[in-house]
Amino acid sequence: MAKKKTKVKTKVKSKDKKEKKLKLGTFKETAREKLIGQHIGYRYDVNLLPDYKRITPFLKKYVEAMGWDDLNWLEDVHMGYEEDRPAVFCRNANGWVTIPKSIKLPNNQQDRDMIARELLVKFQMSPKHPLVDLKKAYLKF
């Protein structure tokens, strides 16, 4: 009897470990924490610098249209999570924009950040952004 019990416990533990490794908030960020020697308490590492080799064609066009030399304010945009779903924070709407399920997310944070940046620009420039209604209501001149 005793032998059987120990077998069950080890099986459950190894399953838990596998699940933990798959979650961004646990395994991947812990690796980053080890690298930078700092604990990350927020939903993403705010100090992660962008890898410009991974910039998307849409973001290239956006930067060019704005007359900037780099990602500018988008350097501070990262993919986090909201209610167990991948999301990006929109500072203008003061809320999280969840990523559509149709978008397949890559395996590393740098590529995920580029997707978050692209999606955030599209959301902020959309006529359906909450600020559009606020602007109509409160615009003074």
For residues 98 and 84, the answer to whether their CB atoms sit within 8 Å is no
CA dist., res. 45 & res. 61, Å (int): 26
Closest distance of CB 125 from another protein, Å: 4
Q: Which of 9, 18, 67, 104 binds another protein (CB under 8 A)?
A: 67
Instruction: Name residues contacting another protein, limited to 41-60 (CB under 8 A).
Output: 41-43, 46-47, 49-52, 58
Sheet containing 95-98, strands listed edge to edge, beginning at the edge strand earlier in sequence:
79-82, 85-90, 95-98
For position 2 contacting another protein by CB under 8 A, the verdict is: no
Work out whether the CA dihedral 47, 52, 54, 58 comes out positive or negative: positive
For position 33 contacting another protein by CB under 8 A, the verdict is: no
CA dist., res. 41 & res. 138, Å (int): 36
Closest distance of CB 130 from another protein, Å: 6
For position 16 contacting another protein by CB under 8 A, the verdict is: no
Closest distance of CB 115 from another protein, Å: 10
